[in-house]
Structure 1
Amino acid sequence: MQVRQLPLARGFAWLGEGLVIWRRNPALLTFASLGYLLMLVLLSVVPLIGQPLASLLMPVFSLGVLNTCREIDAGRKAGPDVLFSGFQQNLRGLVTIGALYLAGSLLVLFLTSIADGGTLLQIMTGGEKVDPEAAAVAPGFTFALLIAIALSTPVMMAYWFAPILAGWWNIPPQKAMFFSFIACLRNWRPFLAYSVALMVFCVLLPGLVIGMLGLVSPTLATLFSVPLPVLLIPIVFASFYANARDVFRDALDERREP
């Protein structure tokens, strides 16, 4: 698998490229992105098995959204059913990736129990009701958060490109997660820039605009903030595809050859 090593500036470009993809077919991409989130929410509310099932199928629906972006990027016509296209592309491998990601995430949470006695684990798993304010001042809670961030980063790196690698190139799940980790590691500079761009685009700028509108009219600020996620979420999802297209461009070009 060919992985390109990109300069830092490419990370700032991915959001703009995501915006371009969204503008080509905003209706379809919005449906796929919000449909992905809705499916995970509906699955997670199923008693007992809901949350594990949502984790197992997360790569499947994630691939469906990325397939949507790919079809739009290629200028091909696609319908709403493309959200479920992941069920036809190495389904077993995708579910295995979901299981490995779930296991890694749970392992990270269990390791944080060393620092805070399991407070963060209880909050994240919903096993017991915990007062967030009391948890914030609990001994070791801040250290547990730092541990969670540090250990969950490599888990996320291993997952980031794995659904694409397993779905588009039929790479076995363990190898897909390994290649994903290596691809993220080799491109840590553009991903750092991408993280800054996401923070500015999705948090700082909207917060600033809403705050300024709130000074003029609280009602106007509310009206602006309600549809904002519907606009931001599809663009962010399209930017996920943009960085995958950038990192694996050579492999994608080979895949298009007859």
Structure 2
Amino acid sequence: MSGSLGIIRPPAGAGLDWLKAGWGWFKPVPVPWMGMTALVFLALMGVGAIPYVGGYAIEILSPFLVAGYMSASRAAETGQPVTFLHLGAGFADTRGRLGLAVMGTVYLAGILLIDQIMRQMGGDGFQQMSQLAANPAGQDPAQVEAVMGQALPAVFTGLVLLTPLVMATWFAPALVLFDGFSAVNAMWWSLWACAVNWRPILAYSMLLGLLGVVAMLIPFGLGLLVFLPWVLCSTYAAYRAIFQPVAAVP
């Protein structure tokens, strides 16, 4: 425990409750949520278009964006208006600004390291797999099998390495913003909370995957304008359920 917080263990089916709570905060005021998300998409497109550094900047800024949605979710929970101003909550918090920046930098470093490991393992397999996907007709089955045999172990390794990185950053922005954690403590607590609650987290992640597929099928990106804020609202609900005052921890 750190300060006045402890970690509790909700039941395996708690993921559905988190999604219901998130939807309950999104549904009454969908327009501000969707407007915020559209603005985020446009901002990310603009930042991503910056030569050489755009993609790196997006990774570093991602904890600030998550913190903004956490702030908006708390406002919705307490019956306050959800506005675009919440997106700046991470930047406005002088105490947590450095922590969020460090978190984004660590996440970027982790992504780059995992990418290098996958490239070393996969070799030319990734490029060949892309070529096969672009032109699958008339490919030699033996060649396809060889390429997949080279690339798939690297992909699997990348997913295994990415999992703890995602776990460490899942709740970390909220812990920095609301509870004053340092970046290192927030990432450790987030990782540990996900590890000890792997059953509800796994069920929750599977539900998110199914909802994400449905969202991708809705044309013009409208599904994503609903899906992204819903996911982040439900993440806030999970944070509220897992991280409790010490007196409330059994």
**Short-chain TM bin:** 0.7 to 0.9
SS at match of 1:131: helix
The amino acid that maps onto 2:107 is: Y
Alpha-carbon distance change, 50 to 133 in structure 1, aligned in 2, over 3 angstroms: same
The alpha carbon displacement at 1:78 in A equals 4.2
The separation in 2 between residues aligned to 1:171 and 1:181, in whole angstroms, is: 14
The separation in 1 between residues aligned to 2:104 and 2:135, in whole angstroms, is: 29
Whether 1:56 and 2:32 are equivalent positions in the alignment is: no
1:175 paired residue number = 185
SS at match of 1:24: coil
Checking the alignment, whether the CA contact within 8 Å between 1:157 and 1:181 is kept in structure 2 is: yes
Checking the alignment, whether the CA contact within 8 Å between 2:171 and 2:235 is kept in structure 1 is: no
Alpha-carbon distance change, 22 to 78 in structure 1, aligned in 2, over 3 angstroms: closer
Map Cα deviations across residues 92-129 of structure 1 (whole Å, 9 max, x no partner): 11010000011111111111123211655x79xxxxxx
Alpha-carbon distance change, 180 to 132 in structure 1, aligned in 2, over 3 angstroms: farther
2:232 paired residue number = 237
The amino acid that maps onto 2:109 is: A
Q: What CA RMSD, in Å, does the superposition of the two structures yield over aligned residues?
A: 2.5
The alpha carbon displacement at 1:9 in A equals 0.8
2:219 paired residue number = 225
1:221 paired residue number = none
Consecutive unaligned residues in structure 1, runs of 5 or more: 124-129, 211-223, 254-258
Checking the alignment, whether the CA contact within 8 Å between 1:119 and 1:135 is kept in structure 2 is: no
The alpha carbon displacement at 1:175 in A equals 1.2
The separation in 2 between residues aligned to 1:141 and 1:86, in whole angstroms, is: 39
The alpha carbon displacement at 1:86 in A equals 1.1
SS at match of 1:7: coil
The match for 1:248 among 228, 243, 250 is 243
2:17 paired residue number = 13
1:146 paired residue number = 156
* 110-119 vs 233-242, greater mean Cα deviation: 110-119
Checking the alignment, whether the CA contact within 8 Å between 2:16 and 2:204 is kept in structure 1 is: yes
The alpha carbon displacement at 1:16 in A equals 1.5
Alpha-carbon distance change, 69 to 108 in structure 1, aligned in 2, over 3 angstroms: same
The amino acid that maps onto 1:101 is: Y
The separation in 2 between residues aligned to 1:35 and 1:131, in whole angstroms, is: 34
Map Cα deviations across residues 174-205 of structure 1 (whole Å, 9 max, x no partner): 111111100111110001110221233332x5
2:140 paired residue number = none
Checking the alignment, whether the CA contact within 8 Å between 2:215 and 2:227 is kept in structure 1 is: no
The separation in 2 between residues aligned to 1:234 and 1:36, in whole angstroms, is: 11
Alignment of structure 1 residues 103-182 onto 2, 5 Å? 103-117=109-123, 120=126, 131=131, 133=133, 137=144, 138=147, 139-182=149-192
The separation in 2 between residues aligned to 1:94 and 1:197, in whole angstroms, is: 28
Map Cα deviations across residues 140-171 of structure 1 (whole Å, 9 max, x no partner): 11111101111100011111111111122221
* 110-119 vs 165-174, greater mean Cα deviation: 110-119
1:99 paired residue number = 105
* 25-34 vs 90-99, greater mean Cα deviation: 25-34
Map Cα deviations across residues 52-76 of structure 1 (whole Å, 9 max, x no partner): 1111111111101111111011111
Alpha-carbon distance change, 44 to 132 in structure 1, aligned in 2, over 3 angstroms: farther
Alignment of structure 1 residues 7-46 onto 2, 5 Å? 7-46=11-50
Aligned residues: 229
Checking the alignment, whether the CA contact within 8 Å between 1:71 and 1:78 is kept in structure 2 is: yes
The alpha carbon displacement at 1:25 in A equals 1.9
SS at match of 1:29: helix
Whether 1:191 and 2:186 are equivalent positions in the alignment is: no
Map Cα deviations across residues 224-243 of structure 1 (whole Å, 9 max, x no partner): 53333333232222112111
